[in-house]
Amino acid sequence: MKKTISIISLGCPRNLVDSEKLIAEFTKKGYRFQEHAAHSDTVIVNTCAFIEEAKKESIDSILRVIDSKKEGKVKKIIVAGCLSERYKDELSEELKEIDEFRGVLDFGREGDSRGRSLLTPKHYAYIKISEGCAHRCAYCVIPYLKGSYKSRAMGHIIKEAERLINKGVKELILIGQDTSLYGMDLYGKRKLGDLLKKLAGISKDVWIRLLYLHPANLDEGLLKVIKDNKNICRYIDLPLEHINDRILKKMRRRITRNEIISLIEYIRKEIPGAAIRTSFIVGFPGETEKEFKELVSFAREMRFERLGVFKYSREEGTPAYEYKQQVPEKEKEKRFNVLMSAQKRVSEAVNQAFIGKLLKVLVEEKGKDYYIARTEYDAPEIDGLAHVAGKDLKVGNFYNIRITDAYEYDLVGYYESGK
């Protein structure tokens, strides 16, 4: 009987792609993939160590698999990913039950022949277009874990996209630590626009979605490509992290308040109706009450369609770890709640403006009473959903639905055949 393998994939989509490669590696060796980890011969925990919460979740998952090993249900444990890269020595010292460690730096190289076993639903897939990061934001540990920025060759990405589309994928999601810098290291200039044009040309019936654009690298040429190609989602994922100039500088974000505002105004003018998603960090060392209020007013004024808030996490080995005036946890929590509730009102209003409109959605699954779908303004696992009433809709197909109701994150609508 074939040996079985399963994986617990934690963290972001970038980690998920690494998990897909690991599974492909083991299935090539003759293992059979199982979805549920509790009874597999080998279990891989692909960890995340980006912030404190992620580390805790990773450790908890490893401990659960160790329990299964002690009960004799699991024979071998492999720990991969960022946590294993960062804390391998400590982990092997403390948790003797772990049989093997894999880091992160061997992933994503050209010539990596592992292939991928998709862990996403059949109708969408992620494509990594780069590894590592060229920035050195003061709070972030990623460059120390993943190294400097490395783009994948455009030809390889296009071939991968074609393969996925031929398999029936309807939405390709481009990822990297900073997708907007794509090409700089390989071709001497930014090439994301060129890459997008080619990808958008493969099939007009496939959505192309971009995640993780760094505001300092987002240029007019790229926005024009998005504007001109209707199958590139009107979804601009632009992590801003803060708006106060002093904090932006301390964060080493390489962009100022005025530059950010001009960029947002430009996006709003050039691509009207696009959903801008951003994320902010609250409680960065030294962030005063006044600077925090500036952030809240900015979020209110800009009316971001989608917004994520993170509490600053003090990470060893980063410049901000050494900064004085660390903000107490209680205060971070308070600021987090204030910003989240300000956004709640924006988000509800943004969604309510869709009532009565016809929106194109991709059907994700058949629920009990409704189909679950997503608009181009919503990335999987990150943003909201649309609940669709209708008959005989197919999972993985696009439909135009009429919106009848809207909540903070989700929309409700119906499909009438022929629309």
Interface residues with ligand SF4 (CB under 6 A) are 133, 135-137, 140, 142-143, 177-178, 214
For residue 317, the minimal CB distance to ligand SF4 (Å) is: 12
Q: What is the Cα 54 distance to its own chain's centre?
A: 14
Q: Which is nearer to ligand SF4, 25 or 85 (CB)?
A: 85
Q: Which is nearer to ligand SF4, 104 or 200 (CB)?
A: 104
For residue 260, the minimal CB distance to ligand SF4 (Å) is: 15
Whether residue 161 contacts residue 124, with contact meaning beta carbons closer than 8 Å, is answered with no
Q: Which is nearer to ligand SF4, 277 or 387 (CB)?
A: 277
* Distance (Å) of CA 186 to CA 105, 151, 153, 197, 394: 18, 6, 8, 18, 41
Residue that has been written with the tokens 């794509």 in this structure: 182
Q: What is the dihedral of CA 146, 151, 157, 160, to 10 degrees?
A: -20
Q: Which is nearer to ligand SF4, 234 or 253 (CB)?
A: 253
How many other CB atoms sit within 10 Å of the CB of residue 266? 13
Q: Which is nearer to ligand SF4, 25 or 131 (CB)?
A: 131
Whether residue 247 contacts residue 287, with contact meaning beta carbons closer than 8 Å, is answered with yes
**Nearest residue to 270 via CA among 331, 228, 326:** 228
* Beta strands, E only, 177-305: 207-210, 235-237, 275-282
For residue 183, the minimal CB distance to ligand SF4 (Å) is: 16
In terms of Cβ atoms closer than 10 Å to its own Cβ (0-12, 13-18, 19+), residue 140 is buried
Q: What is the dihedral of CA 370, 412, 10, 396, to 10 degrees?
A: 60
For residue 211, the minimal CB distance to ligand SF4 (Å) is: 12
Q: Which is nearer to ligand SF4, 170 or 311 (CB)?
A: 311
For residue 140, the minimal CB distance to ligand SF4 (Å) is: 3
For residue 257, the minimal CB distance to ligand SF4 (Å) is: 18
For residue 134, the minimal CB distance to ligand SF4 (Å) is: 7
Q: Which is nearer to ligand SF4, 315 or 376 (CB)?
A: 315
